[in-house]
Amino acid sequence: MIKNLLTPGQALRRVVSKEIAPIHAFFGQDYFFQDLIFDGISDVVLSKDEKKDIFIVGVDKEEELLNRLNSNSLFSNQSIIVVKNAKKIKSKFHSELIDYCKNPSSDNFLIFVFDDPYSTNKFIDSIASVSTCVDMRTPFPNKMKEWVKYYSKKNNFDLSDSIINKLIDNYGDNINNVINEVDKLYLHSSGKINEIDSIIESNTYKKESQVWKLLDSIGRKNTSDSLTT
């Protein structure tokens, strides 16, 4: 795995301080974190009506990406270019992309997304060496709780620790699932905190055999939990 990865929190603090590097590489597929940093960079770089450009390798052609990166405008317009499925970029385009990343345009903010956090090869290592690299893996429950609290506070949602713990226990294979449940709770309860507990208790749906729980218990060296998960 790539070394010296920033945590999402560290990356977000840099963005808030407007310390935005021209090249980023995201490793992992927790979409809450990805969207959080995407939106933060967009708020700083783009004007209200502008949108980031998204290239999906395997759907969009690499030539289109290179043309976009190398196009010059008469006006200095900053842009965000997101490259998803970046691991699938064909080898014949590697050297040109690496050369661009070593000397990027001051108008472009380029973000490579590698969903597999353990991706590594000569191309990925070269991109990582000239990028601000961010760990986008789904965190373990204790850190996930902090981010759910952050989201709740940001949106003026009043959730107790016990409610957050229940949501993570039921839906904690990634932050997005938990956030979606938070949104649904507030939608169904109209924001009335006294009704939220009863809504949770009446919802009998609970995922079984959740892989994240097995990984968590193994990571904590809790043998009994790993056997029953």
Angle at CA of residue 201, ends 199 and 207, nearest 5°: 105
Cα distances (Å, whole numbers) of residue 225 to 17, 18, 142, 171: 41, 43, 16, 17
pLDDT < 50 regions, the chain: 204-205, 209
Question: What's the CA gap between 202 and 137, in Å, rounded?
Answer: 31
pLDDT value, residue 195: 65
Question: What's the CA gap between 133 and 2, in Å, rounded?
Answer: 8
Closest Cα partner for 102 from 61, 78, 134, 131? 131
pLDDT value, residue 114: 96
Q: What are phi and psi of 18, to 5 degrees?
A: 65, 30
Instruction: Read off the pTM.
Output: 0.82
Which residue in the block uniquely carries the two structure tokens 């009994």? Answer: 224
Question: What's the CA gap between 17 and 15, in Å, rounded?
Answer: 5
pLDDT value, residue 204: 41
pLDDT value, residue 210: 53
Assess contact for 126 and 37: CB atoms under 8 A.
Answer: no
pLDDT value, residue 205: 47
